[in-house]
Structure 1
């Protein structure tokens, strides 16, 4: 696959508690994206603060850190052509009430503060690389060729 891009995605504690991991992973697999890394983990407070560092001056920062550390998450790295844009479109808007049906947040999210999923954004320079590096060592990411790649990309 040429022009493959990697992007960071996380099923948040509410998505884990609600049993939505399989549904979310299936949506990305159905889209043709390739899972190259996954880790079921509980985020330490320091790592959560680093993850959300661009929001540290916001009044909701402490609550955000408290929530993301409240239970296990599934951190993942997905690969595909224009993977970040594809994932962002599939997730929907941050507020589930503004996300159209068919998106992950539009179908599964209930509340702005409980929107089940996080994905890296192109708009913050280096967000993908920074978030991937924050959650994964290089040896935890796997290069492999999927048998269906020739059917997905020209």
Structure 2
């Protein structure tokens, strides 16, 4: 059973395979999470199968990058977290920085994607974009967390 302080919003964070494989980068992302006042409600390291990655990113199925993203996300362990904070979704996405890594390196170099992203697919981290997405994504990775909703 997970406990979330009252009034805090939840979001899902995924730390992508190339960051998990690099201890200094993983430590940097985890430090940033705490330094920015997020509460880590739950965290685990898992390896996604191609089917699991395809299912998670199904909304992008018709996009040109879909198969590349699925293959990448299944290429190694990822760290998934439930984060809590007031206005967590907006705050986490702001800390992530824009999706387009090459622009982000110049426009938001201190964001997580600016610091640890390599390409648009290997952009270091994922964050839910709405409360509905957060609920769906958290339940995908933490089906036992039904008490949070």
User: What TM-score does the superposition give when structure 2 sets the normalisation length?
Assistant: 0.86
**Please, which runs of 5 or more residues in structure 2 have no aligned partner?**
none
Report the Cα offset of residue 113 of structure 1.
2.2
Whether 2:55 is the aligned partner of 1:50: answer yes
* 1:10 alignment counterpart: 14
CA RMSD of aligned residues (A): 1.9
* 1:103 alignment counterpart: 111
Give the aligned length: 140
* 2:44 alignment counterpart: 39
1:120 to 109, 120, 128: 128
Q: Deviations over 1:91-110 (max 9, x none)?
A: 00111222212210112212
Alignment CA distance shift 1:36-1:59 (3 Å): same
SS in structure 2 opposite 1:85?
A: helix
Flag the structure with larger Rg. Answer: 1
**Please, which runs of 5 or more residues in structure 1 have no aligned partner?**
143-154
Report the Cα offset of residue 140 of structure 1.
9.4
* 2:89 alignment counterpart: 84
* 2:135 alignment counterpart: 129
SS in structure 1 opposite 2:14?
A: strand
In structure 2, distance between residues paired with 1:141 and 1:62: 33
Report the Cα offset of residue 62 of structure 1.
1.2
After TM superposition, which residue ranges in structure 1, 4 or more long, deviate above 2 angstroms? 137-142
In structure 2, distance between residues paired with 1:102 and 1:63: 26
Question: Whose helix proportion is higher, 1 or 2?
Answer: 2
Report the Cα offset of residue 120 of structure 1.
0.8
In structure 1, distance between residues paired with 2:146 and 2:124: 24
In structure 1, distance between residues paired with 2:147 and 2:20: 22
In structure 1, distance between residues paired with 2:47 and 2:56: 13
